[in-house]
Structure formats: C-alpha cells, structure tokens
C-alpha cells in the first residue's frame, strides 16, 4: 500500500477525523469494487494506526471531505448526528448547461443495484459561475457549462449525480449518469476525472457539541477544469 500518497487530514482529534479523499480511490470494499484491492479505509488504518469506522461514503470518482470515527461509540454518536440532519455537506460540481441560479430537486431515488425501493431524495443547488467553450453543441455555436454548489438534504445512492441528470444538467466526467460527448470535451482538455468534490463538511461534535467545519482544497485536475473558464478556485 505504498503507491498512494498519504491521505490529507483536514481535522483530527482523539475521537474522529475528517480526511480529504482523493478522486479515483474507493472508500471501502463492497459489491461495487469490481476487483479493486486499494481502499481508503485500509490506507487510513495503516497511516493513523487506529481502527477506522466510516460515517458516510463518497463515490470512487468524488473527492473531498470524508468523516471517520476511531471507535464504535463515537461512530454510533456521529450516526445519530447525521440522522438529525444537523450536518451540512456542500459539494462543488461542474455540469452541462446553465441552470437557474437557485433551485431544489425533490425526486425519489432507489438504493442502487438490487435495491429497487425508492425513498425521498432532496438536493439544493446554487449556481456559482457560468462559462462557455468554443465547441458547437445542440445547434448552438458554443457549449455551456456551470459550476454548482450542491447540498444534499438526504443521502441516497449517487444522489447529486442522478438529480443533475434528472434536471438535464448532467455532471461532467460521470460515465454512468453523464453525457459522453461532454465528457470527451473535457478529456480532450486534460480533465479526466468526475467533477464532483465534497468541498465542505460541517457538523456538531458528538462529545463537545462544538460545530466542526472542514474544507477540502481542489485537486490539480479539478482546478484545471475551473481554469478552462477562469473560475475562482475559492468559490464555495
């Protein structure tokens, strides 16, 4: 497990940590692993020398803030914090088109493969910036894109990705729910990752009640995507 750089720690105390998950690394072994043998949970366990209890998940292609606990009691308490919806999770996403400035998608989602039951799923979106590339698209002379702040109020399987597809503003780099033509446009410009980043995580510490806030910086490839349009790296 030496071919992955040390995982950046955004916040840590004796009970828990917020880490910066790299894009392309699976969080843990699951039915979606498909033969993968490298997992963030294993790297963290070796790096920190502690047991690791995952409080939530991020898709393989997503980067940014991930919360872990170091013991079962803290994990259980953090699970209750998440259930109370006192947690704020803000993501940055680059999507096709120019969505309206602010909107909410309330669209039930199933639980993924083998889990057909649909449950309520709500995501709030704010448009932070818009831009165009000089590539014809849909009868227009240019292709339009937007940088979005996404705040999921529920935690369904691939919720942001599927809600953006539902709104016809597909996430760039998403090979499952996106649009291949737009994904290829970004790959031709050196951007090969899914453009979804868990920028900010804010929650109440289960032991102290103090609000903890962690911010994950953009990685080089996500920053490269923003540079295509001259967008500010500090938007959140």
Catalytic residues: 59
Q: Which two tokens stand for residue 47?
A: 């790096």
Sign of the torsion angle spanned by Cα atoms 23, 201, 216, 218: positive
Sign of the torsion angle spanned by Cα atoms 63, 39, 49, 5: negative
Question: How many other C-beta atoms are found inside a 10 Å radius of the C-beta of residue 213?
Answer: 13
Provide the pairing of β-strand 122-133 with 102-106: antiparallel
Q: How far apart are CA 42 and CA 194, in angstroms?
A: 23
| Closest C-alpha to 195, from 218, 172, 223, 164 | 172
Q: How far apart are CA 51 and CA 38, in angstroms?
A: 17
Q: Which residues contact 6 (CB under 8 A, 6 or more apart)?
A: 47
The distance from CA 171 to its chain's CA centroid, rounded to whole angstroms, is 11
| Closest C-alpha to 155, from 214, 31, 227, 67 | 67
CB 104 within 8 A of CB 132: no
């Amino acid at each position: 497990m030496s071919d992955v750089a040390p995982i950046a720690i955004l916040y840590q105390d004796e009970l828990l940590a917020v880490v910066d998950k790299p894009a392309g690394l699976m969080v843990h072994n699951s039915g979606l692993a498909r033969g993968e043998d490298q997992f963030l949970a294993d790297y963290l366990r070796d790096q920190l020398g502690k047991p690791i209890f995952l409080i939530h998940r991020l898709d393989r292609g997503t980067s940014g803030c991930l919360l872990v606990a170091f013991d079962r009691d803290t994990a259980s308490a953090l699970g209750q914090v998440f259930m109370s919806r006192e947690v704020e999770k803000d993501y940055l996403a680059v999507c096709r088109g120019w969505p309206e400035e602010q909107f909410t998608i309330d669209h039930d989602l199933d639980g993924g493969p083998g889990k057909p039951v649909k449950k309520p799923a709500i995501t709030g979106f704010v448009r932070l910036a818009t831009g165009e590339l000089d590539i014809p698209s849909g009868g227009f002379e240019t292709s339009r894109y937007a940088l979005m702040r996404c705040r999921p109020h529920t935690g369904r399987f691939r919720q942001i990705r599927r809600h953006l597809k539902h709104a016809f503003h597909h996430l760039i780099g998403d090979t499952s729910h996106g649009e291949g033509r737009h994904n290829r446009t970004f790959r031709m410009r050196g951007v090969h990752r899914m453009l979804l980043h868990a920028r900010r995580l804010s929650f109440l510490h289960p032991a102290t009640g103090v609000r903890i806030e962690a911010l994950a910086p953009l990685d080089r490839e996500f920053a490269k995507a923003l540079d295509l349009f001259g967008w500010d790296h500090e938007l959140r």
